[in-house]
Structure 1
Amino acid sequence: LLAIMGSSGAGKTTLLNVLASRNLSGLYVTGSITIDGQRMNKWKLREISAFVQQHDMFVGTMTVREHLQFMAKLRMGSGYTTAEQKFRVEYLIRTMGLIDCAETLIGISNTVRGLSCGEMKRLAFATDMLTRPQIFFCDEPTSGLDAFMAGHVVASLRRLADDGMTVVITIHQPSSQVYSFFNDICLMACGRIIYLGPIDGANALFESCGYPCSDYFNPSDHFIRTISVVSGQRNISLRTISKGGLHFRNHVSFFVILIKEEIRPKMVERQRTFYNTNYKASFWTQLRALTWRCWLTTLRDPMVLKTRIVQTTCAIITGAVYYNTAVTSNTIISINGFLFNQVRNLNFMLQFPAVPAITMELPIVLRENSNGVYTSTSYFLGKNLAELPQYVVLPAIFNTIVYIMAGLLPSLWTFFCAVIVSVLLTNVATSISYATATIFGTTTVATTVLPIFVVPMMAFGGFFITYESIPKYFTWLSTLSYFKYAYEGLAINQWETVDVIPGCLNHTGKYFDCPKTGSEVLESVR
């Protein structure tokens, strides 16, 4: 168990990222990583290593066991049977001390109560242990934990090291108990290595350089305080570090050599070949697993129930406003207004709740995708397959309530067509939400930008201004407006079969200047 230690900004995480070949965007890296003389690219290194990042990210509506089963399907791949995957999951639940919370939801901050920080960190270890890596990189595993929980977490890593795994972690300032778990330490300052070796050797080195550590003082505190570079006093701090004989290593290769000696030869002799593909599971396995996870998320998401309640309430209110509206010359505008309100309500009712459905998962998806767990295509298809039922059932329920209460044409075919238009409209609206959420990444920005696109689509939807009245230089907006096509679809469905509209004849038998048939109504709204 090797701990990379140093003050904030010393370069601990950067060094760990370089060694693990992860998160290297924006960095210029020279040299190479070799294990027993065999040069490693990032894909080969990922085959024999795991990397646990500082911030844990999980789908909070899954239980611990469900999450590990999902990851086992995708990370262990087709080389293992279902029984072997389940056995591995149960073994890790026991090893990582997760038995008591195996059926507990992971949790969502401020929404769904779940695991503690320590349990969350141990779950992250278990997730990356599924593939039996030989090297385990871990960035700040004790960040945000109290001393007791930090001790439990590092003790878990100590057990992994005792089982023959090489564990490399970064840590800011460990307690004396945590420090005692380490075999070796790497002390860093200003992006360079000052000491690398056994913990006993560090005490001897600092004492020989004139910086002895008291028997009653935490060695890690003493080392970090001695080599820390004070902001605004860089040159003074560097002179203090070097005056006693502490010197920077010129190359990180020294670090790599020591790590190489700790790695078991079996690592590079593993029988499993390096796949040409970056993914262990097939596309269909990914699709099934992701559909299952997204389906569980949809069922357990508290927002879904709230959306259904709001939807039903809005449907009843809308139906009450237009209750039993008869088709007469005086109600043509009211019916057209009802149809456009139907389009508007269905759009906004499900469009904005769809934004956080993507933005909350996006960081998780990006991390899992970059780790080679699954493709972005399989996630997108799985997400759509899992949420398709609600985007069919919810608009169908809404349409059924308002259609019956408003007293529209009592025709089964007309009703069915209205449902189809409502479902298509809802899926277009949510697709726009997905695109906006993916492009802008956060709920705040996406919900701010979304109306900038949607409001012009609504304005040129055919109700507020007819197509013939639109200036030529704005007709392209009408062509792009999905409100227009949905409104026209519902209008045609309502008026096409209406042969006579009562109320256009006066007592003398002459017609008033009003539409007399459904076809004339359709002509008037074009």
Structure 2
Amino acid sequence: MEEIQSQSDHYRSPSSSVSSPANRVPSSNFFYSRKPGTLRQPISFEDSPVWDETDIEVKVDEGGDSINAATTPPSPSLSKINSGSLPSPSLIEREVVTRKIAGASITWKDLTVTIKGKRKYSDKVVKSSHGYALPGTMTVIMGPAKSGKSTLLRALAGRLPDSTRMYGEVFVNGTRRHMPYGSYGYVDRETTLIGSLTVREFLYYSALLQLPGFFCQRRSVVEDAIDAMSLGDYANKLIGGNCYMRGLRSGERRRVSIARELVMRPHILFIDEPLYHLDSVSALLMMVTLKKLATSGCTLIFTICQSSTEVFGLFDRICLLSNGKTLFFGETLACLQHFSNAGFPCPIMQSPSDHFLRAINTEFDRIIAMCKSWQDNHGDLSSVSMDTAIAIRTIETTYRSSADAAAVESMIVKLTEKEGPSLKRKGMAGNATRVAVLTWRSLLIMSREWKYYWLRLILYVFLALCIGTVFSGLGHSLFSVMRRVAAIFVFVSFTSLLGVAGVPSQLKEIKIYTYEESHQHSGEFVFLLGQLFASIPFLFLISISSSLVFYFLIGLRDEFSLLMYFVLNFFACLLVNEGLLLLVASICQNIFWSILSFVSIHVIMMLSAGFFRIRSALPRPAWMYPISYIAFHTYSIQGLLENEYIGTSFAVGQVRTISGYEALGNVYDISDDSNSKWKNLLVLFVMVVAYKVLVFILLKCCIRKNHSVHKLFRCTQNRKDYK
């Protein structure tokens, strides 16, 4: 203990040792004021304020669906007015007022989370954590990076991955049941929004995917979510912006992602890093908005790394973690007293969250090692000369024997000794409704996002124009057969290869699906049908425009039925190509590997399509079986050639004539059956269904577990970070 005390003496800054916490009078003001003419006098913050402990009484009404939580007097603020400033008003004594809150309490007891290591489930990420959260309050889980914050949040929300295992108990309103659908909301750290929709449109479609009923019935829910997150000024603004309008900033995007979960009106809201990538102003606005949301009765639990003093003063309770261990749980300002009791008072003019993280973040040991050889002329380095391991051990030991830990245990017993009302499962939108909503939303996105299909339409028409002009003026003689076959092969192969331009849009669709599926807003079958129905109009527009340009420039047979078959064949070819593109993107989930794999597959299919070497002459082990039968180029080109040459004849000299089938005998393998082209078209549509089934299986098995092939090519396989 003498070593610990000596180390803690080094940790205190000179400013913190000047004044004693007992000599400071807490102020009830959160924002600080000065007298006129005293602008140059610094505002000081309390090292470790002294306050009286307040008890919170929680009562559960039998047969009701709410929890009565007693409000407590406001905690003292983190600052006091200097000698030259206005005197701080004293705290006003008032009676405890009980108000009815439509919320839910959540309690966790001896919660431990392990992940798979060298030995099965040997690495503990969260170690014996205790705590609770009450309706109408904000509970923050704070700690340095990789301390177990996000893992604890996922454990409370029941969203741990398969590679983890949880021990301990989690109670919701005093019961051990899992939280049903619609009773809670979970916001990930990385936001997944649709930039081509406005805020109101985005929330409307989210409400239709989550809730049963018609569009008009969900308008009030969406407007309430917009008002709750203070998004009224941005409701009609595009999230991603456009050429003439700037999109939403990171703070506004974060509030939109939270509003998406509020359309379900959840009892408990979990947020992972709500201040992620936000500046100080946006962070304060976010916390004030969440504080307003908490006063409406919602139970808020979120993680945070560090915050400013103003933001810190808005929290109700704090759960401080380091290396998975709970170093403190209780009232926010009581944490300052706890650190002071452990021998680490907060220095003057330092943010409490910065002070906490400085004491428990082991990364500071590396900084200390770098600074030991430096000479500090101002004495600043004396405040970072503390061994972090000793500080963590001291703070943890002090907390276990403190009255705060006993108060937490007592509150957990009160919240779990009697079962409260169970949360009811809310209704879900039907699959037919979700397919219709996803189809309409995708159509709207594709019509606004020029990189989805409009750019591809221009590229396809331009490529058809180039190929048509190169092979124009071939005539209809026997000598033009080989050149026509080459023109059709180049058209089908190159336009299919041009589908690589759709890789970014497909990856974006998969990312949106992954988020919505994890929140039970969508499903594999619904996603595939919605995307298929939405892409049909654009693909048909591409097929008919490109086919018309190519067909008439080449000078193919001038019959309407043959032209319609050409368009239909190319349309089916594009559908198969989209299915292949979605399959590759689902497997790779990376733009580089997706493009590389897609181009490689197309090159192999082009080589086995029967143009460079007749299909019957291909080597049988690999190129003929199974590659030539898998390549959709084979059936598309064969059907187009049968459409052009079956039923035609060519004169050989002045007496003899040969059929179109015989003319193609040494150029390309086709069938002399007049119905063969329809069989090839049927095979193409069967391939469309087959690729969708493969993607369905892949989404069902792999995407949910975040597996992708491109991870196998990493030089070193890193374990997923748990924060």
The verdict on how the C-alpha distance between 1:386 and 1:36 changes in structure 2, with shifts beyond 3 A counting, is: same
Give the aligned partner of residue 331 of structure 2.
198
Q: Distance in 2 between matches of 1:422 and 1:384?
A: 16
Does residue 465 of structure 2 align to residue 316 of structure 1?
Answer: yes
Q: Select between 156-165 and 228-237 the one with higher mean Cα deviation.
A: 228-237
- How big is the shift at 1:128? 0.7
For the pair 1:483 / 2:625, whether they are aligned, the reply is no
The aligned residue for residue 348 of structure 1 is 497
Which one has a larger percent helix, Structure 1 or Structure 2? Answer: 1
> Aligned partners of 2:450, 2:409: CA distance in 1, in Å?
48
Aligned to 1:216: 349
Matched to 1:311, the amino acid is Y
**1:129 aligned residue:** 262
Q: Which residue in the other structure is 1:28 paired with?
A: 165
- Measured after TM superposition, the shift of residue 521 of structure 1 is 1.7
- Return closer, same or farther for 1:116/1:130 CA change in 2, 3 Å cut-off: same
**Equivalent residue, structure 2, for 1:492:** 642
- 1:357 aligns with one of 486, 499, 505: 505
Shift of 1:39: 1.1
Residues 1:202 and 1:490: Cα distance change in structure 2 (over 3 Å): same
Q: TM-score, normalised by structure 1?
A: 0.89
Matched-pair identity in %: 25
Higher mean alpha-carbon deviation, 515-524 vs 91-100, is at 515-524
Q: CA deviation at 1:500?
A: 2.7
**Is 1:52 the equivalent of 2:187?**
yes
Question: 1:374: how far off?
Answer: 1.5
Match runs of 1:84-99 below 5 Å: 84-99=217-232
Q: Deviations over 1:86-138 (max 9, x none)?
A: 01111222231212221222118999952110110110111111111111111
TM-score by structure 2 length? 0.66
Q: Within 5 A, what are the aligned runs for 1:187-266?
A: 187-230=320-363, 236-243=387-394, 246-247=397-398
Does 2:210 correspond to 1:75?
yes
Give 1:175's aligned residue. Answer: 308
Q: Tell whether the 8 Å contact from 1:35 to 1:268 is kept in structure 2 after alignment.
A: no
Match 2:429 to one of 261, 281, 284: 281
The aligned amino acid for 1:425 is C
Which segments of structure 1 move beyond 6 Å, counting only runs of 4 or more? 108-112, 231-235, 252-257, 259-263
Contact 2:442 2:534 in 1 (8 A): yes
- Per the TM alignment, residue 247 of structure 1 is displaced from its structure 2 partner at its CA by 4.1
The equivalent residue for 1:140 is 273
Change (3 A) 1:493 1:400: same
Post-superposition CA distance 1:242-284 (Å, at most 9, x none)? 346744669x999798689799x998355xx337xxx711111
Give the direction of change, closer, same or farther, for the CA distance of 1:267–1:59 in structure 2 (3 Å limit): farther
Quote the Cα distance in structure 2 between the aligned partners of 1:112 and 1:522.
Answer: 57
- 1:407 correspondence with 2:542: no
Q: Secondary structure at the match of 1:39?
A: coil
Shift of 1:472: 2.6
Q: Is the 8 A contact 1:88 1:130 kept in 2?
A: yes
CA distance in 1, matches of 2:406, 2:521: 30
Structure-2 change in CA distance of 1:83 and 1:296 (3 Å): closer
**Superposition deviation, residue 347 in structure 1:** 1.2
Matches within 5 A, 1:364-375: 364-375=512-523
Give the length in aligned residue pairs. 506
Residue 358 of structure 1 and its aligned partner are, at CA, apart by 1.7
Contact 1:354/1:434 (8 A) holds in 2:
no
Equivalent residue, structure 2, for 1:425: 573
The aligned amino acid for 1:286 is R
- What is the RMSD of the two structures over their aligned residues, measured on CA atoms? 2.9
What SS class does the counterpart of residue 361 from structure 1 fall into? helix
Q: 1:444 to 1:260 in 2, by over 3 A?
A: farther
> Is residue 35–residue 260 contact of structure 1 (8 Å, CA) maintained in 2?
no
The aligned counterpart of 1:397 is 545
The alpha-carbon distance between structure 1 residues 203 and 262, as it changes in their structure 2 partners (threshold 3 A), is: farther
- Counterparts in 2 of 1:393 and 1:255: CA distance versus 1, 3 Å: farther
Say which is worse superposed, 226-235 or 87-96, in terms of deviation.
226-235
1:298 to 431, 434, 446: 446
- Bigger radius of gyration among the two: 2
Q: Does 1:12 align with 2:149?
A: yes
Give the match's secondary structure for 2:326. Answer: strand
Is 1:150 matched with 2:150? no
Q: Deviations over 1:500-520 (max 9, x none)?
A: 34xx32xxx576xxx833121
Aligned match of 1:186: 319
Residue aligned with 1:57, SS = coil
The one-character-per-residue Cα deviations of 1:184-227 (angstroms, maximum 9, x if unpaired) are 11111111111111122112222222222245322222222122
Greater alpha carbon shift after TM alignment, 155-164 vs 112-121: 112-121
- SS at the partner of 2:454? helix
Note if contact 2:365-2:387 (Cα within 8 Å) is conserved in structure 1: no
The gaps in structure 1 that reach 5 residues or longer are none
Question: Structure 2: any 5+ residue segments left out of the alignment?
Answer: 1-137, 369-385, 670-723
| Local SS of the residue matching 2:664 | helix
Note closer, same or farther for the CA distance 1:254–1:340 as it changes in structure 2 (3 Å cut): farther
CA contact (8 A) 1:312 1:398 kept: yes
Are the equivalent residues in 2 in contact too, given 1:192–1:248 (CA < 8 A)?
no
